[in-house]
Structures are given as C-alpha cells and as structure tokens.
C-alpha cells in the first residue's frame, strides 16, 4: 500500500505550493496599496488614525485559499483510506465509498461517524477518536482540524472565503506643528483584521488644531493577510498569524499522516520528519 500513502503525502506537498501561491497573490494585492490613511476628529484635541480599505482583496486570493483547504482535507481522507486498505489488505477496502476522515466537535458526533465508518477496523477508529477536536483541553475551536473542516465545508457549499488585511506590526509617526505635542492612547491595541476601517491609533494634542495640520506616517504599520472566517482563532491564548496557522496546519496534517503510515508499517518517501519511529517501539 506504499503508493496509496505516497499519494496522500503528495497531496500535502501540493498544499504547501498552494500556500505559496496564496502568499504571492497577497504580495500582488498589497503592492497596489489598497488601504488609505485617514485622520478623524473625536474632539478638538483628540484624533483617531484609521486604516481604510480602498480596494477589496481579489478573488484570486480566495481561490488560492480554497485550493489549499481542499488539498489539506483530501490529504487526510487519502491517508485514512491508505491506512484502512493497509490494515484490511484490500484495495478498495470494505465500504470504501464511506471512508472520509472524521472531524468532530463532540463525542456524540463521533459516535455517529463510527456507525457510518462501519467498514473501518475498530482499532483505527479508536486511534482517530483520540485525535478529534473535542479531545482538546482548550476546546474544539483550538484544534486546527476543526477549522479545516468548518472552513472547507463553508467553501464547498456556500461561498469562497473573504480575504482581509490584519495589522501585524504597529508603529506610527506624527508630523505636527512645532508648538504642538501629542500623547498616544496606549489602550488602543490595533492588532486586528480590517473590515472597512480600523482605528490604528488615537492621540491627544496639547492644544486644539485642525486635522489637516496633522500628517500621519504609517510606514511602520505592517498589514498581513487574514481570512475573515478564521480571524478569531485562538491557540492556547495565542493568536498566530494566518501564514503561521497555515504552516502549522500542514505540519499537524503531516504528523497525522506519518502516524497512519507508521501504524501501517510504511515509511513515507523522504522518511519521517515529525516523529521518530524508534519512540513507538
């Protein structure tokens, strides 16, 4: 069954190329400077600096993300198929048309999937259950496969995912009249995605001035890619960037595929990269 596993790992390698394609689409998008900077009066001495979306992210960005999602999902499904085929010694294995890697948020949901996967050996189902999102101590939404499942389901059945900008670096410089000083409001934490507009800074001047007397330099503000439906992701209190999430998802998927191969007595092309088979003996 070596070839079946080779196909599953090839899918995952293809996902990496789709992530790079997504990154290139993002670079092309931001090269057009799709955000404007605006200064808004709150009071005569209080001002807000806003990043305002001038041009929405192109559909090519959403399509690249869609392809990445579908490829990750397919790699998991292919891996489970290869595992079952290896365990049963049959290709196709029993009830092959039902084989799809289950991703469940509750134990009840997984119990239903076990019934659907009645042709899969019980020991495989037990091992797959141990890796389910509902087993995570931080809740299913902290599990990357939960998001693969939810995002891919929306992508397939409803619509492409919307690409956005997210403030990833924050440094603002002000140019004010010589007799005016400013104090920034440090409670503003603008590390968020931009939907329409986002307040990236707030400050108070030493005296009332016109907003047209203020020039804001935001060259120190970095804007990274984001997917709107995934923007709220939280991993054990951390909020990794979208690129980090995509990379972690590929690593997490590879680790699961390598475990499937190890249980099947198969060595992936290029060897094991996320686990040491000796640790399992």
Q: What is the pLDDT, as a whole number, of residue 279? A: 72
Q: Over 70: is that where the pLDDT of 227 sits?
A: yes
Contact of 35 with 52, CB cutoff 8 Å:
yes
DSSP code, position 183: E
Q: What is the pLDDT, as a whole number, of residue 233? A: 87
How confident is the model over 148-174, as a mean pLDDT? 91
Q: What is the pLDDT, as a whole number, of residue 280? A: 60
Q: What is the pLDDT, as a whole number, of residue 236? A: 72
- For residue 191, name the pLDDT band (cuts at 50, 70, 90): confident
**Class of residue 203 by CB neighbours under 10 A (exposed 0-12, middle 13-18, buried 19+):** buried
- Dihedral sign (CA 16, 17, 23, 25): negative
Share of the chain above pLDDT 70, in %: 99
Closest CA to 214 of 194, 251, 254, 184: 184
Share of the chain above pLDDT 90, in %: 78
- For residue 157, name the pLDDT band (cuts at 50, 70, 90): confident
pLDDT in tens, 237-250: 778 899 999 999 99
Task: Tell me if residue 1 falls in helix, strand or coil.
Answer: coil
- For residue 232, name the pLDDT band (cuts at 50, 70, 90): confident
Closest CA to 29 of 220, 162, 206: 162
Could you give the C-alpha distances from 71 to 27, 145, 219, in angstroms and in order? 22, 13, 36
State the Rg of the chain over Cα: 24
Task: Tell me if residue 210 falls in helix, strand or coil.
Answer: coil
Residue partners of 223: CB distance under 8 A and separation at least 6: 30, 35, 51, 165, 166, 167, 168, 194
- For residue 140, name the pLDDT band (cuts at 50, 70, 90): very high
- Dihedral sign (CA 139, 120, 99, 70): positive
Q: How big is the chain, counted in residues?
A: 281
Q: What is the pLDDT, as a whole number, of residue 242? A: 94
Q: Over 80: is that where the pLDDT of 229 sits?
A: yes
Distance of alpha carbon 224 from alpha carbon 252, whole angstroms: 23
Quote the mean pLDDT of the chain. Answer: 92
How confident is the model over 128-156, as a mean pLDDT? 94
Q: Over 60: is that where the pLDDT of 281 sits?
A: no
DSSP string, 162-176: PEEEEEEE---EEE-
Task: Tell me if residue 49 falls in helix, strand or coil.
Answer: strand
- For residue 40, name the pLDDT band (cuts at 50, 70, 90): very high
């Amino acid at each position: 069954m070596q070839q079946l596993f080779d196909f599953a790992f090839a899918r995952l390698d293809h996902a990496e190329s789709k992530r790079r394609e997504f990154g290139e689409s993002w670079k092309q998008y931001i090269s057009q400077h799709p955000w404007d900077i605006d200064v808004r009066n709150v009071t005569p001495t209080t001002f807000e600096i806003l990043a305002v979306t001038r041009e929405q992210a192109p559909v090519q960005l959403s399509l690249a993300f869609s392809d990445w999602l579908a490829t990750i999902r397919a790699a998991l499904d292919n891996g489970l198929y290869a595992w079952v085929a290896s365990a049963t010694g049959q290709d196709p294995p029993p009830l092959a048309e039902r084989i799809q890697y289950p991703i469940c948020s509750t134990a009840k949901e997984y119990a239903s999937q076990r019934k659907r996967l009645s042709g899969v050996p019980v020991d495989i189902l037990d091992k797959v259950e141990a890796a389910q999102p509902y087993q995570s101590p931080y809740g299913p939404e902290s599990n990357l496969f939960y998001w693969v499942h939810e995002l891919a389901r929306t992508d397939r059945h409803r619509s492409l995912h919307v690409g956005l900008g997210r403030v990833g670096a924050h440094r603002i410089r002000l140019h004010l009249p010589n007799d005016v000083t400013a104090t920034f409001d440090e409670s503003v934490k603008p590390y968020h995605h931009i939907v329409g507009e986002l307040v990236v800074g707030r400050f108070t001047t030493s005296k009332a001035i016109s907003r047209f007397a203020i020039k804001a330099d935001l060259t120190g503000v970095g804007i990274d890619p984001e997917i709107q439906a995934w923007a709220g992701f939280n991993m054990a209190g951390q909020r990794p960037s979208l690129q980090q999430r995509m990379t972690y998802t590929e690593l997490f998927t590879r680790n699961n595929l390598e475990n499937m191969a190890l249980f099947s007595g198969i060595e992936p092309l290029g060897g094991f990269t996320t686990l040491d088979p000796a640790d399992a003996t």
